[in-house]
Amino acid sequence: MPRPVFHEEKCKGCELCLDVCPMGIIVMSQGFNGKGYHPAACVDETKCVGCALCAKSCPDLVIEINE
Amino acid sequence: MSEKLLMKGNEAIGKAAIIAGCRYYFGYPITPQSELIEYMAKHLPQTGGTFLQAESEVAAINMVYGAAGAGARVMTSSSSPGVSLKQEGISYIAAAELPCVIVNIMRGGPGLGGIQPGQADYFQATKGGGHGDYHCIVVAPNSAQEMADLTIHAFNVADQYRNPVMILGDGALGQMMEPVAFHDNPLVPVDKPWATTGMGERGKPNNINTLYLEPEALEQVNMKLQQKYQVIQEREVRWETSHTDDAELILVAYGITSRIAFSAMKMARTAGLKVGLFRPITLWPFPKEALANAVTNASAVLTIELSTGQMVEDVNLAIKCSKPVYFQGRTGGMIMSSKDIYEKIVEIFKAERGE
Amino acid sequence: MEGILFAWPQALVDIPTHYCPGCQHGLAHRLVAEVIDELEIQKKTIGVVPVGCSVMADKYFNLDAQEAAHGRAPAVATGIKRVHPDKVVFTYQGDGDIAAIGMAEIVHAAARGEKITTIFINNAIYGMTGGQMAPTTLVNQVTATSPFGRQQSSTGYPIRLSEMLATLDGAKYIARVSVNDPANMNKAKKAIKTAFETQIRGEGFAMVEVLAACPTNWGLSPVNAKRWLEENMLPQFPLGVYKNSAEVK
């Protein structure tokens, strides 16, 4: 089952991943990362289909998709 | 083995560059150096080298930057207005510590000026020209033979110090035909581990860059360059003297002007006037100490240039204004005759003797 | 790699970039790096980076690279490629770098059929210097030096560089792509790959113009900047392959 990994410290809060996720399972966290952004996070990994659109839309290589 | 050929100064540079191992030339036509670019166009490909006429002098100097950064022995040439265009590129080359040879066959200026010889690019060549605290090593030949010899020297010191070297000639030297002896020059390959040749098995990328946004880092870069320039100033100064030991008046001139000055000196000596000639061969580093020594026992100095007075400032600085420094210049492409200089010498002697 | 469906390419260094949130330089860098990995040319590629936001791209790519003066990257690349014709040389340039100060250099590199690959990031604005007008700024677009909108009576029209360079015989592959959505991103990657293959086959000059968003200087959020690009830039700069000499064969 595909599992997204978000390297939160690299995230700049641009929301491009959220905009593109077909399953709607990405949100911006309430908290802040070290850079002062609300990092993106996956709220329900069970629904991840491994399309990797989030990872491919991220300009900052925040997201890896593992099997 | 050596061969002696009758050649124009411009062509002598071309042949010497090839002998020195230059295999890349990027340039743009401009009078009075077009013989050099045409020589390279014809002869460089025959050695397996690459000749490319660029779309402008700006493009040419940036091609030189790329090729030098990639580890090649590379040259460009132009004349005064074209060298103005190259200044940004030269600053970058100096900052990145890349070796290359830049030839300026000077003409009358400023602006589009004229196509006759001039020496009004001395400031541009020795005091920067481009922005920032940097120096080109600047050599000033005064014969077709020296155009050749100093070209080979230029490529060697460029690689030795990782620095741009400028050959400052003029339209007269470029056009004059003289016999030039070329000697075999076995090429010693220079190791350039810093060059961008593709990472290969190196494992670590090489970068050629000049941007340092942190002022601490940029200051360090500048200090490193200054240390290098200090070494160059200690080791690479060149000059020639004639009859300066007992001279009362020392002529200072370089390039074509030094040959006219030499004739004037001989005329003066024949008339019983004790005149000597000091000819700087490196304009940067300027032979300050040697000039100061040569002038010690003289009463006055006459600086002669094809300009309204540029090197004369360095002459004054070198001797710390300790003696009167006279100036004689022509500009706009006009060239003084040895008789003109002789008459000035006579005038100076009269003035100095209080007549 | 086992167990990984998506990870970043080897040709990219895994360090945080200085680019703004939502800046699409990061996407373009990744696509170029993926192509370099797939073509297995990392060890023989030399990049030339411009002046502009991507001036530090040489730190993000795990390759030999040179920083060029503003606009001069095609000339610098020419120097490198002529010295190392067996290596792969690419330039990475913004719209001011390539189409303002560097117009002569790119036109002549293309006209000479210089065997280099150019990746041109077109975001219709000068990013690094704070959002001034660019040669590709749209008519009526507000920028720091066109505060009332670009006035065509005084400053004319945006330049369509891909169409222009396609008229040159030395240009063998020219494409305009976008990275605004996954479908376009796939096409962009294919175009970039073809552009590098054009060089590797020794055919001539290749360029890919990548439409990209500049959220900071457009004054929009990254998601809205993407929409602005779709609504305004795509009609002005149509996507497509403008030159493909391989097809002619």
Supply C33's token pair. 């790096």
pTM over 0.90: yes
List chains touching C (3+ CB pairs under 8 A): A, B
Whether residue C3 lies within 8 A of chain A, CB to CB, comes out as: yes
Asked if pLDDT for residue C110 goes beyond 80, the answer is yes
CATH number of the structural domain spanning residue A40: 3.30.70.20
Positive or negative, the Cα torsion across C61, C65, C68, C73? Answer: negative
pLDDT attached to residue A2:
87
Name the band, by pLDDT with cuts 50, 70 and 90, for residue C247. low
Which pLDDT score is estimated for B354? 85
Instruction: List the domain range (segments joined by +) for residue A10.
Output: 3-66
- Sorted by where each starts, the structural domains of chain B and their CATH numbers stand as 5-235 (3.40.50.970), 240-352 (3.40.50.920)
Instruction: Quote the domain boundaries for residue C117.
Output: 25-243
Nearest to B62 among C65, C69, C87 (CB): C69
Q: What is the mean pLDDT of residues B141-170?
A: 97
Q: Which residue of C has its CA nearest to A10?
A: C16
- Per-residue pLDDT at C2: 47
Q: Inter-chain contact C27–A10, Cβ cutoff 8 Å?
A: no
Domain presence at residue C235: yes
Distance (Å) from the C-alpha of residue C84 to the closest C-alpha of chain A?
A: 32
Task: List the chains bordering chain B where 3 or more Cβ pairs fall under 8 Å.
Answer: C
Work out how many domains chain C is built from and give that number: 1
User: Is C7 domain-assigned?
Assistant: no
Which of A19, A20, A65 minimises the CB distance to C5?
A65
CB-defined contacts A:C, below 8 A: 70
Tell me which chain B residues have a C-beta less than 8 angstroms from the C-beta of C72. Answer: 58-59, 62, 65, 89
With CB atoms and an 8 Å threshold, state whether B66 touches C42: no
B165 beta partners: B101, B137
State in Å, rounded, how far the first CA of chain C is from the last one: 38
Contacts of C182 in chain A (CB under 8 A): 20, 53, 56-57
Structural domains in chain A (count): 1
- Find the mean pLDDT for residues B300-305: 98
pLDDT in tens, B201-221: 998 999 999 999 999 999 999
**Interface contact flag, B50 C55, Cβ < 8 Å:** no
Q: Does pLDDT of C215 surpass 60?
A: yes
Residue of B86, B196, B197 best to disrupt the C interface, most CBs of C under 10 A: B196
Does position C249 have pLDDT exceeding 50, yes or no?
no
In this predicted structure, what is the pLDDT of residue B1? Answer: 65
**Is C238 part of any domain?**
yes
User: C123-141 in b/e burial notation, b at 16+ Cβ within 10 A?
Assistant: bbbbbbeebbbbbbbbeeb
Q: What is the rounded CA–CA span in Å between residue C28 and residue C120?
A: 10
Q: What's the pLDDT tens digit per position in A9-57?
A: 999 999 999 999 999 999 999 999 999 999 999 999 999 999 999 999 9
- Structure-token match 């390279």, residue found: B40
Chain B touches chain C, with at least 3 Cβ pairs below 8 Å, answer yes
Cα–Cα distance for residue pair B193/C62, rounded to 1 Å: 17
- Which residues of chain A neighbour C24 with C-beta distances below 8 Å? 59
C212: domain CATH number is 3.40.50.970
Nearest neighbour of B206 by CB, restricted to C64, C88, C104: C64
Residue window 18-47, chain C: list those with CB within 8 Å of chain A: 19-27, 30
Give the residue-averaged pLDDT of C190-213: 97
Q: Which of C17, C21, C181 sits opposite A14 (nearest CB)?
A: C21
Pick from B129, B86, B107: nearest CA to B30: B107
Structural domain contains residue C214: yes
Separation in Å, CA of B150 to nearest CA in chain C: 24
Residue B93 in contact with residue B164, Cβ under 8 Å? Answer: yes
Q: Is there a contact between A63 and C4 if contact means CB atoms under 8 Å apart?
A: no
Residue B68 with chain C: CB contacts under 8 Å? 79
